[in-house]
């Protein structure tokens, strides 16, 4: 067990960082994924420290359409939010727009909810960014296997009808 995580003699994390969300402090890492809109299959994974802002990571290639929250447009994205999420008040036009695209946007959140709720993957005891990345790649692969099984099962049952 010695010589783990930059030759650490302790299990204390070397790469994890602190961040605050809603006046609550969190320590560790964040997982970022690119999900197909129709099938909810995860195509790309990235792991960063907790203090890295979501806006700094953009897994979408130029020209690809990605649905996500208005506040997180990505570094390379040309889409600009108008600050309505920070204001807290949405105009009726903005509320209708959010309602229209929420079905597509929520598909990007489904994997996180499923992995946290059903696979208990919300926490890790690993201490370096590389090890956490490998762990999360396996978690995403397990999620993809579940989705493929679900999609095959649903396509077979729809053919019987």
Summarised one tens digit per residue, pLDDT across range 63-78 is: 887 766 555 555 555 5
The predicted model scores a pTM of: 0.73
Q: Return the top range by mean pLDDT from 22-36, 46-60, 131-145.
A: 131-145
- Assign 30 to helix, strand or coil: strand
Query: Which residue from 36, 18, 35, 40 is spatially nearest to 27, judged by alpha carbons?
Result: 18
pLDDT at position 153, please?
A: 86
Q: Return the higher-pLDDT residue of 58 and 138.
A: 138
- pLDDT over threshold 90, residue 136: yes
CB 99 within 8 A of CB 137: no
pLDDT at position 41, please?
A: 92
Q: Return the higher-pLDDT residue of 24 and 13.
A: 24
What CA–CA distance (Å, rounded) separates 57 from 72? Answer: 9
Distances (CA, A) of 144 to 35, 66, 78, 105: 10, 19, 30, 19
């Amino acid at each position: 067990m010695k010589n783990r995580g930059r030759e650490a003699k302790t299990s204390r994390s070397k790469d994890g960082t602190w961040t605050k969300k809603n006046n609550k402090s969190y320590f560790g890492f964040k997982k970022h994924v690119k999900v197909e809109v129709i099938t909810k299959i995860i195509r790309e994974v990235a792991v960063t420290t907790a203090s890295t802002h979501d806006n700094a990571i953009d897994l979408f290639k130029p020209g690809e359409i990605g649905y996500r929250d208005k506040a997180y447009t990505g570094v390379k994205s040309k889409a600009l939010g108008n600050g309505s999420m920070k204001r807290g008040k949405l105009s009726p036009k903005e509320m209708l727009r959010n309602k229209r695209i929420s079905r597509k946007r929520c598909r990007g959140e489904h994997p996180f909810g499923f992995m946290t709720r059903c696979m208990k993957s919300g926490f890790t005891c690993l201490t370096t960014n590389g090890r956490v990345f490998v762990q999360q790649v396996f978690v995403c692969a397990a999620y993809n296997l579940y989705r493929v099984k679900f999609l095959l099962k649903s396509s077979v049952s729809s053919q019987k009808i």
